[in-house]
Amino acid sequence: MAKLVALYKKPDDKAAFDSYYFSKHVPLAKKIPGLRAYEVSDGSVAIPLGESPFHLVALLSFDSLEAIQQGLASPEGAATAADLANFAGAGVDLLIFDTKAV
């Protein structure tokens, strides 16, 4: 299984972020071809020491890195990426990796 992790930094207006994210962005992202699962953090995002710079973490699962690349290159993936500018003004870090059980 391969993952795309989106680390959304704390916005100035958390309520506006959440409203847009869940009503507009999530429905767009769920249309990305090859997407197998979509999970988000529930509640505050913590780090072991100090205050976290993150408001929300999204974990998108795909069958492979190739499936992520194909999904992001699709019209639905492009629309989802373009939509980030509409609500993620504080910034977002995207991580893409393959996983294995250990």
Task: Give the DSSP H or E segment for 40.
Answer: strand 37-40
The number of distinct structural domains making up the chain is: 1
Residue 8 belongs to what H/E stretch?
Answer: strand 2-9
From 35-39, 48-52, 87-91, the region with the lowest mean pLDDT: 48-52
pTM to 2 decimals? 0.94
Domain that holds residue 89: 2-98
How does pLDDT run across 53-91, given as a tens digit for each residue?
A: 999 999 999 999 999 999 999 999 999 999 999 999 999
Min mean pLDDT across 16-20, 24-28, 44-48, 69-73 is at: 44-48
pLDDT tier for residue 35 given thresholds of 50, 70 and 90: very high
The CATH number given to whatever domain includes residue 46 is: 3.30.70.100
Side chain identity at residue 13, one-letter code: D
Taking all residues of the chain, what is their mean pLDDT, rounded to a whole number?
97
Token pair 């795309």 in the structure block, residue: 4
